[in-house]
């Protein structure tokens, strides 16, 4: 059974000089996730990527017992005429072969996503970048990204979860 989470409880846009506040919010959200994880030790999430130049990709990750057990990837193009999507690449990896393809987002646990966010995004200079962090009421990381001021196309770095769900293991 899949339980989908969609309500946003915490969203922080970091402006000049406020990166410590976002870090504190991240710490609180990660602590909430640690409590939630006791009832959600198997989960999956999806990260969608898109380009203004017509490329799209979607990576689905499944974690069970703190280990990646599945990673699925689909990618393709978007028609300039009608916006329809075509799939040019699709594959699924299962343990122990998760990570065997070069394409797609890496299979990361929620804790690893939080660590990546803290090290790679929240350390960005808010005087030069818009920095965004969001987690839901259960501490599930929803978004952690930055974009340099003045950037026009395809310059967001980080992650936004398109979907998250806890799974009941039978």
- In SS3 terms, 125-148 reads as CCCCEEEEEEEECCCCEEEEEEEE
Whether the predicted pLDDT of 10 surpasses 60: no
Residue spans of alpha helices (H) in 66-129: 110-116
Sign of the C-alpha dihedral computed for residues 162, 67, 134 and 35 taken in this order: positive
- At 81 the three-state DSSP class reads coil
- At 80 the three-state DSSP class reads coil
Of the candidates 119, 108, 122, the one whose C-alpha atom is nearest the C-alpha of residue 67 is: 108
Whether the predicted pLDDT of 82 surpasses 90: no
Structure tokens at 46: 């999806």
Whether the predicted pLDDT of 7 surpasses 60: no
The pLDDT value recorded for residue 20 is 62
pTM: 0.85
Q: What is the rounded distance in angstroms from the CA atom of residue 154 to the CA atom of residue 30?
A: 28
**More confident site: 13 or 17:** 13
Q: What is the rounded distance in angstroms from the CA atom of residue 166 to the CA atom of residue 170?
A: 13
The pLDDT value recorded for residue 168 is 67
Q: What is the mean pLDDT of residues 93-121?
A: 97
pLDDT bin (cut points 50, 70, 90) of residue 94 is very high
Of the candidates 10, 19, 23, 28, the one whose C-alpha atom is nearest the C-alpha of residue 134 is: 10
pLDDT bin (cut points 50, 70, 90) of residue 30 is very high
Q: What is the mean pLDDT of residues 112-129?
A: 96
The pLDDT value recorded for residue 23 is 87
Q: What is the rounded distance in angstroms from the CA atom of residue 57 to the CA atom of residue 73?
A: 7
The pLDDT value recorded for residue 53 is 86
Q: What is the rounded distance in angstroms from the CA atom of residue 70 to the CA atom of residue 3?
A: 18
């Amino acid at each position: 059974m899949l339980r989908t989470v969609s309500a946003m409880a915490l969203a922080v846009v970091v402006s000049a000089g406020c990166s410590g506040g976002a870090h504190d919010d991240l710490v609180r959200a990660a602590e909430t996730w640690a409590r939630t994880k006791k009832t959600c030790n198997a989960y999956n999430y999806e990260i969608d990527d898109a380009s203004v130049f017509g490329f799209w990709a979607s990576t689905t990750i499944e974690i069970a017992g703190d280990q990646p057990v599945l990673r699925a990837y689909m990618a393709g193009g978007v028609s300039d005429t009608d916006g329809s999507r075509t799939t040019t690449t699709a594959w699924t990896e299962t343990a122990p072969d998760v990570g065997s393809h070069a394409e797609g987002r890496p299979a990361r646990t929620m804790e690893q996503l939080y660590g990546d966010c803290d090290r790679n995004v929240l350390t960005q200079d808010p005087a030069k970048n818009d920095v965004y962090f969001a987690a839901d009421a259960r501490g599930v990381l929803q978004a952690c990204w930055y974009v340099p001021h003045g950037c026009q196309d395809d310059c967001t770095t980080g992650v936004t979860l398109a979907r998250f769900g806890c799974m009941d293991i039978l």
